[in-house]
């Protein structure tokens, strides 16, 4: 099995765990569980906000499933070149986290609206880990 396929499988397995958490345990602080946001508890006081928050959590889970299923199609039917471009697409799409999402979660962390404190750094390192995994796999593939 080639390095690009291995990196795609690792990503898919980890993200599948996040999807299961978002769908079945959104109140969790594990993985991408949204209970790290203190506001998650606040929305429970208003049914419409609670429904909206759950809708958004499930929407994120659905988007993650799209990525997983598309990557699985690439994994099982794609050529080596298709896998390479899929990995490049993953690097670029994952990197967008630092454009809009990371500044928001850092600000929430500074405002003490994230539990545990410092979670924004942990999440940032996790995202960097994905970027490094795909980048290193791409470099190894190209060498």
Quick one: which of 99, 142, 106, 138 has its CA closest to 121? 106
Higher pLDDT, 134 or 32: 134
Q: CB within 8 A of 10, min separation 6: which ones?
A: 133
Task: Dig out the tokens for 60 from the structure.
Answer: 């994120």
Task: Dig out the tokens for 120 from the structure.
Answer: 């924004």
What does pTM read for this prediction?
Answer: 0.89
Summarised one tens digit per residue, pLDDT across range 9-60 is: 999 999 999 999 999 999 999 988 899 999 998 998 999 999 999 999 999 9
Q: How far is CA 87 from the centre of its chain?
A: 15
pLDDT of residue 67: 94
pLDDT of residue 71: 97
pLDDT of residue 31: 86
In this structure, what DSSP letter does residue 30 have?
S
Task: Dig out the tokens for 47 from the structure.
Answer: 């049914």
Report the distance separating Cα 94 and Cα 74, nearest Å. Answer: 17
pLDDT of residue 32: 85
Report the distance separating Cα 47 and Cα 35, nearest Å. Answer: 17
Average pLDDT over residues 64-73: 96
């Amino acid at each position: 099995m080639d390095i690009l396929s291995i990196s795609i499988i690792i990503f898919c397995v980890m993200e599948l765990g996040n999807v299961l958490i978002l769908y079945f345990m959104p109140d969790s602080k594990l993985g991408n569980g949204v209970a790290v946001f203190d506001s998650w508890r606040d929305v429970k006081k208003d049914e419409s906000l609670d429904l909206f928050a759950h809708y958004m959590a499930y929407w994120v889970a659905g988007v993650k499933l799209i990525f997983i299923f598309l990557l699985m199609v690439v994994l099982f039917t794609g050529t080596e070149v298709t896998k390479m471009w899929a990995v490049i697409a993953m690097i670029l799409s994952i990197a967008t986290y630092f454009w809009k999402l990371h500044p928001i979660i850092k600000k929430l962390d500074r405002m003490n609206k994230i539990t545990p404190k410092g979670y924004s750094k942990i999440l940032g390192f996790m995202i960097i880990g994905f970027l490094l995994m795909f980048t290193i796999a791409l470099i190894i593939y190209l060498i």
